Amino acid sequence: MPGARILAEGLRFPEGPVILPDGRVALVEIASGCITAVAPDGTRTVLARPGGGPNGMALGPDGMLYCCNNGGFEWIEEPGVLRPHGCPPDYAGGWIERIDPATGAITRLYDSCDGRRLRGPNDIVLDGQGGAWVTDYGKSRARDRDHGTVYWIALDGSRIVEAAHPFPGGANGIGLSPDGRILYVAETETGRLWAFDILGPGELRKEPWPSPHGGRMLCQFPGFRRLDSLAVTEAGNICVATLVAGEITTVSPDGRILDVVRCDERMPTNLCFGGADRRTAYVTLSNTGRLLMLPWAEAGLALAG
């Protein structure tokens, strides 16, 4: 990857990168239960320690970080590789929290919806209208697993709505089209990218059966590929972190695979765009605990606040 370089190493399963106003990259270290900021020179600062399993994040218009917390994992550590496995003994569910990056103060916003406990909140995208769309991946156990769900939340903590369910393969990455009218959701275990037309806050247009949740399938990835987080470009293309194959796969709005960028490990999990022209991609290489930065062929979408 010409021009690529490793900005940070030694991170404990990093995900959820977000560009802060001062140019630093905030990310989660799931295995350490903390939020870390990485400066352009690689210097690291811990911003907060929410515990559990902080996962996807978004920067709000109030300067706060809105964080999905999956409730934690157990971990398998092999030479040079760290990976999540099952639930820890103290797991009691997941939640969504607001974090002040200046003070580290944490406010829990939601841990249930309609009386059902959140299982493993995973990723988040703000809608620019005081709310956000959130995926809940669920949790896996030795003999069964939860179905994934998409929620809509109000950022002020006043309302959470179940918008789409079930995702049998786990709802993971989530993003919006440039006009804010289409919601994209990556389903991990099936290797499918889904699209929903947005009707309003918490309301999605639903396709009939046999769609399991009302989404329309945009793209079925080939071979053994599991999908993680995603980011949308200014042109409306969807860049999906593709596990097992170790790639970032760019999909057009009409479902064609346009490009594949190979990464130096099997679990590139998340990416975001930064730099003055948003043509620098920051990719979390989670198994090996690294943050990769590399030039990108097109500008990333300016995210809604």
What does each C-alpha distance from 14 to 30, 75, 79, 226, 235 come to in angstroms? 6, 14, 17, 18, 27
**Is 103 inside any structural domain?**
yes
**Is 199 inside any structural domain?**
yes
**Is 300 inside any structural domain?**
no
**Is 162 inside any structural domain?**
yes
Number of folded domains that form the chain: 1
**Is 305 inside any structural domain?**
no
pLDDT-derived band at 68 (thresholds 50, 70, 90) equals very high
**Is 302 inside any structural domain?**
no
**Is 54 inside any structural domain?**
yes
The share of the chain scoring above pLDDT 90, in percent, equals 96
pLDDT-derived band at 2 (thresholds 50, 70, 90) equals confident
pLDDT, tens only, 79-105: 989 999 999 999 999 999 999 999 999
Residue 130, domain extent? 5-295
Q: Across 101-191, where does the E strand assignment appear?
A: 106-110, 112-113, 116-117, 121-126, 131-136, 148-154, 160-167, 171-176, 182-187
Domain holding 105: CATH number?
2.120.10.30
Average pLDDT, the chain: 97
Q: What is the mean pLDDT of residues 136-149?
A: 96
**Is 240 inside any structural domain?**
yes
Model confidence, pTM: 0.98
Scan for tokens 């270290």, then name that residue: 29
The answer on pLDDT for 234 being more than 80 is yes
pLDDT, tens only, 250-277: 999 999 999 999 999 999 999 999 998 9
pLDDT at 205: 98
The answer on pLDDT for 1 being more than 90 is no
The answer on pLDDT for 305 being more than 80 is no
